[in-house]
Structure 1
Amino acid sequence: MPRRVRVESPDVFVHPLSYVRAQMGWTYQDVVDVIARRAGNMARRREKAWRWEHWGVVPDRVSQRALAVELGIPEECIDRYPWPQWLPDGDPIRTDFTWNQAGSSKAICDAMECTVTDRRGFMKLTGTSLIAFAQRWLDIEPAELASVLRGGRITEDFVDRVEEGLPRLRLLEATYGGRRSRRLIDAELGMVAEVLENSSYTASLSQRLHGLAAELGRMVGFACFDAGLHTAAQRYWVAAVHASHAAGQRALGANILKSMSLQCHDFGRVREALALARNANEGAGKTTPRVRSMLALREARAHAALDDAVTCERLIARADTEIGRGSRDDDPPWVAYFDEAEFHAQAGICYLDLGDHRTADRHFTRALDQLAPSKVRDRATYLIKRSEAQAGLGAVDHAKELLTTAIPLIQQAPSQRNADRVFAARTGMPLPRRDSHDIDEQLVLLVK
């Protein structure tokens, strides 16, 4: 079996156990040795710990109890939280900031302190706490904006210049991938956070600055998500939702919740994905048809993952109607990526999850035909997904061809999510041994 491909540095914490090992200085062999020492009879094979960390295998109760004792964790935590949630994995992600300008500034500063060095590749904010966070955003109205903060006076020209740089950063992230772009976007967000914290400005400029922080937080969060740094992504997004609220931009907040829903979908936490997508859809407020189409499709994907074909297809039909209405001149800049190609790709993924490979393939074909040449990362994604549809239709040779075509594109625009997709598609294909070896050889290029 080929090893799991990672395009980020090899010390990314892909699982809470990997974080524990890094903190304790343990190898996989050390993990099984300390468990065996406390639990008694147990085969001391390092592969067991590797499978817990990479394959989703759950250790038995005796092993979990022994590890908890070694780490000084009360046994009742094992009963209260399922594996691996009871493992210590550093500071929690805060969601208790107040829903006003001061709370927004604190949320941004908290994210900035933790995320640049945060290498964890797993989600920490899950379950009811994640859903409750989205519900609070939906229910609470923005408080009165403070007119000034201490520090130098900020002019409209300054804010204009920062806003003018957003398209360049969006293009950078979309073209070169999250791994290459996240630090630059983070630096831009840091500058805006410092202005919010230390400068003075009018109430109208305050809204614009918080809107900038929200969009930059969304962008750097997505860059981290794309790079496989999921804890960092969640920290940025929580701060970004607060900032969008302080800015009075509900549609932007909905777009951030949409990204959080997508992350849950990727982790198989589909009910949380649905709750977040619904909150985004219901809380977006008055917005453009294209934004409504995008949000409807995100909710459709959650229903598809739950095998709810009726609701999913109704939402796809609504999205199709909405995207054909209105003028793009009225759209917020952050929805520009959602064009006809992206619509068909998202619809195709819905049908892929529903098992309708023929309809999925038709959508992916249209997406690839309409995709702009500059969107290298998206082309790789669409090719991988179409290869899955072709494999489902029994066209294995064509599926292999599509998959191998995507690999050089991932080298051009590195994306951990696309690397993981290649791995998943490769392992799900009934390929002859020689063909499997050929793809594995190309997969190795992703980590060079």
Structure 2
Amino acid sequence: MDRRTFLGATGAAALLAGTPLSHLIKPAEPSRLPSVVRPEDIEQVEAAATVLAGWDHHYGGGGIVRTAAEAQLRWASALLELPCPDTLRAGLFAAAARLGMVVGAADFDAHAHQDARRVFAFAAACAEEAGQWHLRAKVYSYRARQAVWLGDCDSGLTYAELGLAHENRLTPTERAMLHTAKARALAKAGEVQATLRAVGQADEAFAQARPGEDPPWMAYYDAAQHAGDTGHALYDLVAVGYRPDTAADRLRTAVEGHTEAYVRSRTFSRSKLASLTMSTGDPHEAATIGHQALDEVVKLHSRRATDDMRQLASLAAVHRTTSEAAKLRDRIKETIKT
């Protein structure tokens, strides 16, 4: 039986004719919550957070990642309102906090900033309810990064310092992450010496890192991530006269060190390296790096990554008489239209 005959015989052709396909899969009976929270429910929330975090790092926070993450968070938040044995309560809130920070990160990457703020606040409250200082630290790191991205350096600094409260309870990797967040806030504010002190504190903490002691969600913060984050902070100091070579070295280390699991992070560092080279170095080299960054950006669903490309295009426009820079600018404008 050929395909057309099969569709006619099953009635599928009639269903498809003139009907939006999304209507065909709308559930008539939504999934039911359990009557009481069970250990397996908590395990499923934790597993969802792990999978979604991996997708977010590899594909960016927009598109299917954010859509899937929001649905999972609705389920997890509903579990918080169910009867829960006392022995499971802390674990339930910790799992919700972990999933919340993943969803907030996806919202942030998709420029859904109001949603990100709301979800990060939810995640912070859940982490504190669970007495989970490690999760709390990570959530405040995200809140600091979002505030700095939006130009609110004071709030970014405050969030980083809140994350560092009782830092003796945190691992060296977590302290490095938060000192780096602090450095990025100070750099955006143009505070050169304070930024350099914060970078130094971050380096000192990271030198003591023992990955086996870190919680699983900190696995992303390796040598490449540390180099990239500190490189971003130093990049912002170049605008106020700080030498570019240190920032370039760190960004280059990040690009070379990031694996395929962290494509978005590699793209951020590569695009910043291209922008730094375009503004302070060889525009021919910058164009080569920029094309490599754009090759990765087009595969992501990340509004932050496309913003970096627009900044690079603006810097390339200064070198309009350099053909390689002009071609890069034209390609970015043609590729990133919204």
- What secondary structure sits across from 1:178 in the alignment? coil
> Which of the residues 193, 196, 204 maps onto 2:80?
196
Deviation at 1:262, TM superposition (A): 1.2
Which residue matches 1:331? 214
**Under a length normalisation based on structure 2, what TM-score does the superposition of the two structures give?**
0.82
How far has the Cα of 1:225 moved from its partner? 0.8
Q: Which amino acid aligns with 1:202?
A: P
Deviations 1:33-71 (A, max 9, x none): xxxxxxxxxxxxxxxxxxxxxxxxxxxxxxxxxxxxxxx
Offset at residue 438 of structure 1 (A): 4.5
Among 372, 375, 380, which residue is 2:259 paired with?
A: 372
* 1:445 and 2:335 are equivalent in the alignment: yes
> Are 1:432 and 2:320 counterparts?
yes
On the 8 A contact 1:174/1:377 being kept in 2, the answer is yes
Query: Where do residues 276-315 of structure 1 align in structure 2 (5 Å cutoff)?
Result: 276-282=159-165, 286-315=169-198
Match for residue 281 of structure 2 among 387, 391, 394? 394
Percent of matched pairs sharing the same residue: 24
Match of 2:145? 262
What is the aligned partner in structure 2 of residue 88 from structure 1?
Answer: none
Q: Aligned match of 1:360 in 238, 244, 247?
A: 247
What does 1:107-118 correspond to in 2, within 5 Å? none
Aligned residues, how many? 298
Distance 2:73 2:289 in 1: 38
Q: CA RMSD in A?
A: 2.0
**In structure 1, C-alpha distance between the alignment counterparts of 2:258 and 2:327, rounded to whole Å:** 31
- Mapped contact 1:358–1:393 kept (Cα < 8 A): no
SS in 2 for 1:386: helix
Indicate the structure whose relative CO is greater, using CA pairs within 8 Å and at least 6 residues apart: 1
In structure 1, C-alpha distance between the alignment counterparts of 2:313 and 2:332, rounded to whole Å = 11
Aligned to 2:7: none
Give the counterpart letter for 1:336 in structure 2: A
- Whether the aligned pair in 1 keeps the contact of 2:48 and 2:99 (CA below 8 Å) is no
Matched residue type, 1:431: H
Kept after mapping to 2: 8 A contact 1:345/1:367: yes
Q: CA deviation at 1:251?
A: 2.7
* Deviation of the 1:387 alpha carbon: 1.0
Q: Which amino acid aligns with 1:440?
A: D
Whole-Å Cα distance in 2 between the matches of residues 397 and 323 of structure 1? 34
Where does 1:27-426 land on structure 2 (aligned, <5 Å)? 152-180=35-63, 181-197=65-81, 199-282=82-165, 286-355=169-238, 356-426=243-313
What CA distance in whole angstroms lies between the structure 2 residues aligned with 1:368 and 1:271?
A: 29
CA distance in 2, matches of 1:316, 1:157: 42
**Quick one: structure 1 residues 370 and 240, their matched pair in 2 at CA, closer, same or farther if it must change by over 3 Å?**
same
Q: Contact conserved, 1:253 with 1:284, CA < 8 A, in 2?
A: no
Uncovered stretches (5+) of structure 1, i.e. residues with no partner: 1-149
More helix by share: 2
1:154–1:201: 8 Å Cα contact kept in structure 2? yes
Aligned AA (2:319): L
* Alignment CA distance shift 1:326-1:175 (3 Å): closer
Work out the CA distance in 1 between the residues paired with 2:62 and 2:334. 18
Quickly say closer, same or farther: Cα 1:268–1:326, change in 2 above 3 A: closer
Q: 1:415 to 1:151 in 2, by over 3 A?
A: closer
Q: Contact 1:156/1:205 (CA < 8 Å) preserved in 2?
A: yes
CA 1:432–1:326 in structure 2 vs 1: closer, same or farther (change >3 Å)? closer
Deviation at 1:420, TM superposition (A): 0.6
